[in-house]
Structure 1
Amino acid sequence: MPLRAIFPSPRPTLVLLILLTCAPAQAAIVIDGRADEPEWEQAARYGDFKVTEPYRLSSPDPGMGTQARLLSTPEGIAVAFQVDQKAGVSRLKPRLERDQKREADRVNFMIDFDADGRTAYSFTVGLSGSIQDGVLTNERDLNLDWDTDWTWAVSESENGWQVEMLIPWSVAPMRGIEQPNRTVAVYFGRVLGSTSERQAFPAVTADRSRFLSGFERLEIAQYRKSLFHFWPYLTARHDLIEGRTKYTAGLDVFWKPSPDFQLNATINPDFGQVESDDLVVNFDAIETFYSDKRPFFTENQGIFDLRTPDEGRLVHTRRIGGTADDGSGANDIDAAVKLIGSVGAMGYGVLAASEDGAAGRDFYVARLQYPLSRGLNIGWLGTDAERPYLDRSAQVQALDMSWRPNEQLIVNAQVLGSFIDQKRERRDDTGAWTRINWIPSTNWSYELEATHFGRQLDFNDLGYQRRNSLNELELTGEYVHRQQSQTSRLRSTRWNLELQARSNDRGDRLPTYLIFTNAFNFRSGNRLVLETSAITDGFDDLISRGNGLWHKSGRYGMQLDLTSRRYGDWSFNATAELIGRGLSARPAKVLTLIGNWYPSDAFNAEFEIGPEWTDDWLIWEGGRNFGRYQRRVDFVGVNLSWFPGVRHELRLKSEWLAIRAEDGQRYVLLDNGRMQGNGQVRPDFDINNFGLQLRYRYLLGPQSDIFVAYSRGGAMRQERDQVGGGELFDEALQLRDSDQLLAKIRYRF
C-alpha cells in the first residue's frame, strides 16, 4: 500500500521512512526492468503524482497513473517505476542517441545527495531503453553534457511498462559521510510521449522559479563505495586535403576512495572531434556561447557552475584549449587535474589546466560551498588565468549566497570582482546582482532582479561574459490559469509580463523592454506561445565596439511558436518572428520550420529550414563606419539517426547557412548618436557555410566507445553582384576548408 494511503499528511513521517529505507538490502537486486525481488518490499513508495506540464496539478487520467519506489542498497540507489498506460494510448519508443531530445515515453529520476538545493543529478530512461543523464544547478539549469556510469532496464506488459535504475554511490561527491544515514532530496517524473504531458512527484516544475529546492526530502541508509578507473584513448585523424595522418594518445584517470573525495586527472586530454558545433555566423558584438562536451570538463562539473543573470558563466571551460593567444589555432593541453570533495559540511573543488607552447596559458579554479543552516548556503569562487604571451594575469573573485527561508521565497545574490594586470597596468572592477523569487500561490509568481556590472569588470579570460558596464532592473510577474472543465480544448494558460530597465555604468540609458508572453497548452498535447515586445528608444553602446553611442529608435517585436504533438510518424515545430535589426522600425521576418520523422523505432530524422528576410540590416564595418543592407538568410539542416543494433549508432548531421547582403549603403555614426548616410555604395556580398559529419559509434561497454567519423565543411565570403540561393547551395557543396576522417577508441579499465 502506498505510504500516502496510510498517512494523510503531505509528507510521510521520518521514522517510517528510516525503517523502510535504512534497512540494508542483503541480496543483490537484478536490474532487469521487473522489480520483482522481495527486497523491493522495503522500498519507500510514491504514488501521489500530479500533472505538472501543462501546469494543472490534477491527478492523472484513469489508467495512466505512475508509481515509484526507492531503496538504498550497498551498490547504490535503486529506483523502480511502474507506469500504467491503458489500451488505446500510443506508446512512443524511438531509439535515440544518449541525451538526444525527441518525443518519447520516458521516466525521470533526480537526486540531490546533499539536500541543499544546489546540485541534483538527473537520470532519464525512455521506453525504448534510450537514456539521458545530466546535472541540474541554479534551481532549473539542466546540463546534459555530463555522462556517467549507471544501470537501467525496461520491460513492457499489456497494461503498461516498468523501469529499474541503479545509481551507484560513486556518481557524485557528497558531504556528511560519517553517519550511517543521510538526507537526500528526490524528484520522480513521467512523460507521455504522444501529448508531452508530464506527471511528477513532488508537484514541482522547471517552468516555475522554484524547482530543485522543492524536491522531496527523505532519510536513507548510506554506504561507502570506492572507485578507480582509467581511460586510455587513441585517435587517428587523416587529413584528406593534405594527405597526412596525425595520431594522438592520452589518458584520463578517475579515483574516488570515499564519497567525500574524488580526483580526475588527464594527460593530453581526450579532445577528439566527434561532436560538431552548430553553424553560426555572428555579426553582433556579443560572443556566441558554445557548451563544452569534452569528457574531462563535463564530469562532476556542477560545483563550478556559477552563473550571472545575463547567461554569463564565471567558469567557461571552452576557454581551456581554445584559440591560442598568438592566433595560431587551438592550443593543445598538456595536463589537467580536478579535485572535488568535502570537509565536514564544507564542500570544495579545485581545477587546474596547463596548455602547451609559447602561447599556452595556465588556468586555475577554486570553489568553496558552506551551508550555514537549512535553506541558507554561501559560497566563494576564485579563478586565475595566466597568459604569458600577452603579459596578462587575470583573477576573478566571487561570493555567492542562496537563501530559502520558506517555500514561497528564494533569494540569490552574488558579489564579484575582476583583477587584471597586463603589461604592468592594473584594471580592477566589481559587480553584484540579486534575484528575489516570490511564489505566493500555485497560480502567481514574481521575480525581482537587480544587476550592476562595472565598466571594467572582465571575467572573459576563463568565463563567458556577454557585457560589462550594466545597471539593470528586471521585474517579472506570471499567472497560470488551470482549466477545470474536461470539455475545454485547453488544459492551462500561462501569462507572463516582464519589464527590463537598463543603463550602462556611465549613465547612458539603454532601450527598455516590455515583454508579454502568453502560452496555451492544449488537451491534445499541442502548445502555442505568443510573445510580443515593446522596446523604447535608447543608446546601443556595444554595436560600435567602443567607437561611440548609437541612439536606437523604439520598435516592436512579435514571435509565434507552435509545437505539435506526435501525429503518426511526424511531429512539427514552427516559429515566426518579426524583429527590428536596423535603423528603422521595419522588422525582419524570420521563419523556422522543423519536422521530426519516425518511420521506425530504429530510425529518426530531423529536417529544419530557416529563411529570413529584412530590408534594413545594420552591421559594423570598423571605427564609426557601418553598412546598411537588404539581407536574405537561408538555413537548411538535416539530422539522421539509425540504430541497427543495441550497441551500434550511425548519425548524419549536415547544415547549410547562407547570407546574401544587397543594396548596401555606407552610414557613419555621428557624435550626437545618429547614423548618417554619406552616399557611398557598399558592394553586395554573400557568406556561405556548409558542414557535414557522418559518425559511427560502437559501444564497447560502460563509458567505452569506438568512433569513426567523416567530417567536411568550409566557409567563404565573396563580394559580387546578386546571386541566387540555388547557386549558393551548389557552391556550398564544393566548400572544403576541412575534409578529414577520424577514428577514436576510448576504453575504461
Structure 2
Amino acid sequence: MVVRSAWLVLALSVSAPAMAAIVVDGRLDEAEWAQAQRYDRFLVTEPFRLDPPPHGATTVAKLVSTPQGIAVAFEAAQPSALPRVKPRLQRDQPRAADRVNVSIDFDGDARNAYSFSVDLSGSIQDGVVDSERLLSLDWDTDWTWAVDEDEQGWRAELLIPWSVAPMRGSDSERRKVRVYFSRTLGASGEVLAYPAVSPERGRFVSGFEELEIAQYRASLLRVWPYLTARRDFVGQRSQYQAGLDLFWKPSPSFQLSAALNPDFGQVESDDLVISFDAVETFYSDKRPFFTENQSAFNLTTPDAGRLIHTRRIGAAADDGSGAAEIDAAVKLNGSLGRMGYGVLAASERGHAGRDFYAARLQYPLRPGLNLGWLGTYAHRPYLDREAQVQALDMNWRRGDELILDAQVLTSAIAQAGSRRSGQGAWLRINWVPSERWDYELEATHFGRDFDFNDLGFQRRGNLNELELTAAYEHPIAAPESRLAGTGWVGELMLRSNDSGLRLPVWLRLGHRLDFRSGNRLYLETNLIGAGWDDLISRGHGPLRRRDRYDFEATFTSRRYGAWAFEAALLGVPVGLGSRQDWTTRWLANWYPADTFNASLEFAPSASGDWLVWESGELFGRYGRRGESVALGMNWFPARKHELRLKSEWVAIRADAGRRYRLTPGGGLVATGETRPDFDVNSFGLQLRYRYEFGPQSELFLAYSRGGFRRSQRERGDTFDLLDDALALRDSDQLLAKLRYRF
C-alpha cells in the first residue's frame, strides 16, 4: 500500500504540470485536447431513428483524465440554417435549448450514473440516473464549465472533479468507467447521442461506452457556514439561525458529510396539490445535505416506492406542532476494496423528535452481477414506535439484451407493546432483443403487514402484481414524410391483495408521433377492468368498481420564434360510475429575450360524478369543477443574479352532494341525505432573488405567501374563488439566507 501510494504521488507530480495547461474557457486551444479520447459517431436517438445528425449538426466529444478531474469537451457545428436557441435558465429548469450532456458511471457497473449538461447560454443541469434510466435533478454539485461560439458553431468545456461522487477501487492507477454523450437541438428537440441509447427505452446506463482512464487521488475539505433570518408577518415574530455543513473527502474511497444545527428549510417551493386520494402525494427533496452523495441510498421499488425518502426527516412532527427541527445529521460514503458502503443518521430535537438511521452495502460479485443490502431504522418516541426495514437487492446484466433486477424485503414494527412484521419481494426482467423492440416483465409481492413508510415512501402494501410491457419504435426514413418516427407501448397489469380480492386489471395502450418539425403528439388510454378498491375507505371496507377507462392526448410543440406550447386533454373517472372528469391543460412558454422567460399554465376541469370519502363507511357524491393556474417568470439581470416569481392557484368547487354508505358487500347505497356545497382553495406565491457570489456560495432573499382553506357555501364562481385565494394568508414571511463555502 505504501509503494502504491508513493507511485501515485510520483505520477501526480509528473503528470500534473502537463495537464495544468487546460483552462476551462470553452476555446479548446490546449495541446492536451489533441491527445484526448474522441467520439464523433453521434446518431439521432430522440426520435429513435438512429440516423446521422441532421442539418449539418455534426458533433465531436472529447474526454481526457487529469489530476483535477475528468475534462470533457464538445465541438458542435451549427450552420446558420439551424436556429440557435439559448435562453438563460435556472439550474435544472426544464428547457427547450441547444444543449450538450455527458453522463458518467464512475464505477462502471451500470448501477447509477451522474449527468452533467451545459446549454449554449451557459445554463446548466446536473442529476443522478438510477434504476437504469430514472433521472433525478435534485442533486447539485460543484463542477466547472464554459461555452464559446462563433459563426460555424459552438464549443463547451467541462471539468468534473474527482470529488463529485464516491468511487470503489480508488487505489488503482487505471479506472474503468462508462460514458455517454448527447446533444440536443433546441430548434427541433432532436437528441444526438453516442452511444446510440436512450433513457426512453429499457436499456440506458448499461449501454454506455466502456472506457479505461487514468485515475488520480484527490482530497477535499469543504465547510459551509450559513445564516438565516426569517420574519413571520402572520405571527409577528422574527427568527434567526446559524449552522454549519461540512464535507470531507480525504480519499476517493471515503467521504463524510455532516450538518450541525442545520437549516433544512427548502428555498425551493413545492407545487400545489389538492388531493382527496387515499395515496400520499410524493414530493422530491432539494435540500443539499440529502442530495449530495445520496445515490447509494436511492433504492426504489415498483409502484413508485422508495426505501429511503429523505423528506421524512424534518417533516411534520408526530405531536402535530409543525415541522420538526433537526439537531444534527451525518452521512458516510466509501469503499473497502470492491465493497461500497454508506451510513446515514439524523436526529430531531424536542420531546417528539425522531431518530433515523440507514446503512448500505454494495458488492460486485463479477462483471454484470451486483449484490446489495440496505437496512433502515426509525425511532418515534412520541408514538412509542420503532420501525426496521431490511432489503437484499440484485442487479444482473447478461450481454446487451437482458437485465434482471430483484429485491427481497422485510419490515418489523413495534408500537405500544404490539409487534407486526411483513415481507415483500419483486423481480423485474428487461429484454431488448433489437433496436425496435423492448419488453419488460415485473412481478411484485408486498405482504399485508409490509410497511416501510416510516423512513421510506410506499404507496401501498398488501399487493400482488404482475406487469407485462412491450414497446415498439418505428423510425421513418423517408424525408418527404411529415413524421420522423412513431412509437407504441402496451402494458397489462394484473393485481390482487393478500386477502384474496382481485383489484382492477389495467391495460394501457400508448402511441407517440414524432414530427420532423420537432412537434410531438402522445395518445394513451387505460382500460380498467372491474374489481375491488381496497384503499378508498381507509380501512373501513373495500368498494367494488365497475369497468372504466381513462384517456390522454398531449401535444408538445417545438419553438416557434419566442414561443413554445403544450396542450393536453385528459379524461379520468373520479366518481362512482364510469363518467369522466375532463381536464384541458394549456401551457405557454415565452422567451422574449435570452435573459427573460415566462410560463403560464391553465387547467380547468369538470365532472358530473366525483366520489369523496368522508368518514368510516360514509361517502359524498358531487358534481365538481376545478381551476388551476400557474405563472412563472425568470429574469437574469447579470451572469450570477436570478430573480424568480412563482405563483400557483388551485381550487375545487363541489355541488349537488348526496350521501352514500358502503355496504358489507362492497356496494354504495344512497342514504337520502344531501351534502352541502363546498369549495377548496389553495394559493401560493414566491418571489425569490438569488446571487451566486462564489462556487456553492449563495445569497437568497425570498418572500412567500399562501394558504389553504375549505369552506361551505351555496354559490360561488371562479372570480369569487380567486378573490378569496388572493386573501389567503396562512403563511406570509420574508427569508434571507446566506451560505458561504470555505
- Please give the TM-score of this superposition, normalised by the length of structure 2: 0.97
TM superposition shift of 1:23: 7.4
Q: Tell me, yes or no, if structure 1 residue 647 matches structure 2 residue 623.
A: no
Per the alignment, residue 580 of structure 1 pairs with 573
TM superposition shift of 1:62: 5.0
Per the alignment, residue 543 of structure 2 pairs with 550
Give the one of 201, 208, 211 matched to 2:204.
211
Give the one of 326, 337, 350 matched to 2:343.
350
Cα 1:477–1:287 change in 2 (3 A) is same
Give the one of 257, 276, 281 matched to 2:274.
281
Distance 1:262 1:28 in 2: 29
Which amino acid is 2:539 matched to? G
Per the alignment, residue 13 of structure 1 pairs with none
Contact map agreement 1:436 1:449 (CA 8 A) in 2: yes
Per the alignment, residue 27 of structure 2 pairs with 34
TM superposition shift of 1:145: 1.0
Distance 1:492 1:209 in 2: 18
SS at match of 1:231: strand
Q: Tell me, yes or no, if structure 1 residue 445 matches structure 2 residue 438.
A: yes
Range 59-68 or range 401-410, more displaced: 59-68
Contact map agreement 2:362 2:373 (CA 8 A) in 1: yes
Residue-by-residue CA offset, 1:287-344 (whole Å, 9 max, x unaligned): 0000011110010100000000110000000000011111111110000000000000
TM superposition shift of 1:646: 0.5
Distance 1:253 1:732 in 2: 41
Contact map agreement 2:24 2:157 (CA 8 A) in 1: yes
Per the alignment, residue 5 of structure 2 pairs with none
SS at match of 1:235: strand
Which amino acid is 1:218 matched to? L
Distance 2:557 2:520 in 1: 6
Per the alignment, residue 12 of structure 1 pairs with none
TM superposition shift of 1:32: 0.4
Per the alignment, residue 622 of structure 1 pairs with 615
Distance 2:111 2:244 in 1: 31
Distance 1:658 1:425 in 2: 42
Give the one of 109, 114, 119 matched to 2:107.
114
Residue-by-residue CA offset, 1:180-231 (whole Å, 9 max, x unaligned): 1100100000000011100000000000000011100110001001000100
Give the one of 329, 332, 347 matched to 1:336.
329
Contact map agreement 2:266 2:287 (CA 8 A) in 1: no
Per the alignment, residue 365 of structure 1 pairs with 358
Contact map agreement 1:662 1:722 (CA 8 A) in 2: no
Distance 1:319 1:633 in 2: 30
Give the one of 728, 733, 740 matched to 2:726.
733
TM superposition shift of 1:722: 2.1
Distance 2:499 2:526 in 1: 26
Residue-by-residue CA offset, 1:11-33 (whole Å, 9 max, x unaligned): xxxxxxxxxxx977443300000
Give the one of 400, 411, 422 matched to 1:407.
400
Which amino acid is 1:469 matched to? N
TM superposition shift of 1:241: 2.0
- Please give the TM-score of this superposition, normalised by the length of structure 1: 0.96
Distance 1:170 1:424 in 2: 46
Distance 1:404 1:693 in 2: 46
Q: 5+ unaligned residues in a row in structure 1: which ranges?
A: 1-21
Give the one of 684, 699, 710 matched to 2:677.
684
Per the alignment, residue 137 of structure 2 pairs with 144
TM superposition shift of 1:65: 0.9
Residue-by-residue CA offset, 1:36-79 (whole Å, 9 max, x unaligned): 10011110000000100000011112521100000000100000
TM superposition shift of 1:389: 1.0
Q: Tell me, yes or no, if structure 1 residue 537 matches structure 2 residue 530.
A: yes
SS at match of 2:305: coil
Distance 1:484 1:281 in 2: 45
Identity %: 63
Residue-by-residue CA offset, 1:584-624 (whole Å, 9 max, x unaligned): 11111011111000010000001001111000000100000
Per the alignment, residue 3 of structure 1 pairs with none
Number of aligned residues: 728
Q: Tell me, yes or no, if structure 1 residue 66 matches structure 2 residue 48.
A: no
Residue-by-residue CA offset, 1:229-274 (whole Å, 9 max, x unaligned): 1000000000112321100111000000000000000011132442
SS at match of 2:353: coil
SS at match of 1:512: strand
Give the one of 228, 232, 240 matched to 1:247.
240
Contact map agreement 1:238 1:245 (CA 8 A) in 2: yes
Contact map agreement 1:234 1:745 (CA 8 A) in 2: yes
Residue-by-residue CA offset, 1:350-396 (whole Å, 9 max, x unaligned): 00000000000000000000001111001000000011111111000
SS at match of 1:465: coil
Give the one of 307, 310, 321 matched to 2:300.
307
SS at match of 1:276: coil
Which amino acid is 2:24 matched to? I
Distance 1:358 1:350 in 2: 25
Per the alignment, residue 93 of structure 2 pairs with 100
Distance 1:52 1:292 in 2: 30
Distance 1:428 1:622 in 2: 28
Distance 1:114 1:195 in 2: 34
Distance 1:287 1:672 in 2: 27
Which amino acid is 1:499 matched to? L
Which amino acid is 1:30 matched to? V
Distance 1:736 1:260 in 2: 49
Output the aligned Cα RMSD. Answer: 0.9
SS at match of 1:493: strand
Per the alignment, residue 177 of structure 2 pairs with 184
Runs of 4+ in 1 over 3 A off after TM superposition: 22-27
Range 646-655 or range 136-145, more displaced: 136-145
Per the alignment, residue 746 of structure 1 pairs with 739
Per the alignment, residue 6 of structure 1 pairs with none
Q: Tell me, yes or no, if structure 1 residue 135 matches structure 2 residue 134.
A: no
Which amino acid is 1:274 matched to? V
Distance 2:463 2:517 in 1: 44
Q: Tell me, yes or no, if structure 1 residue 718 matches structure 2 residue 706.
A: no
Per the alignment, residue 638 of structure 1 pairs with 631
Matches within 5 A, 1:505-524: 505-524=498-517
Distance 2:50 2:605 in 1: 40
Residue-by-residue CA offset, 1:402-438 (whole Å, 9 max, x unaligned): 0001110000000001011111211001000000001
Range 609-618 or range 265-274, more displaced: 265-274
Distance 1:603 1:496 in 2: 38
Which amino acid is 2:359 matched to? A
Q: Tell me, yes or no, if structure 1 residue 660 matches structure 2 residue 660.
A: no
Per the alignment, residue 447 of structure 2 pairs with 454
Which amino acid is 1:82 matched to? E
Which amino acid is 1:404 matched to? R
Distance 2:604 2:670 in 1: 28
Residue-by-residue CA offset, 1:668-693 (whole Å, 9 max, x unaligned): 00011111111100000001111100
Distance 2:600 2:725 in 1: 18
Contact map agreement 1:23 1:221 (CA 8 A) in 2: no
Contact map agreement 2:55 2:81 (CA 8 A) in 1: no
Contact map agreement 1:125 1:152 (CA 8 A) in 2: yes
Q: Tell me, yes or no, if structure 1 residue 709 matches structure 2 residue 712.
A: no
Per the alignment, residue 384 of structure 2 pairs with 391
Cα 1:533–1:273 change in 2 (3 A) is closer
Per the alignment, residue 75 of structure 2 pairs with 82
Contact map agreement 2:55 2:82 (CA 8 A) in 1: no
Q: 5+ unaligned residues in a row in structure 2: which ranges?
A: 1-13
Give the one of 318, 321, 325 matched to 2:314.
321
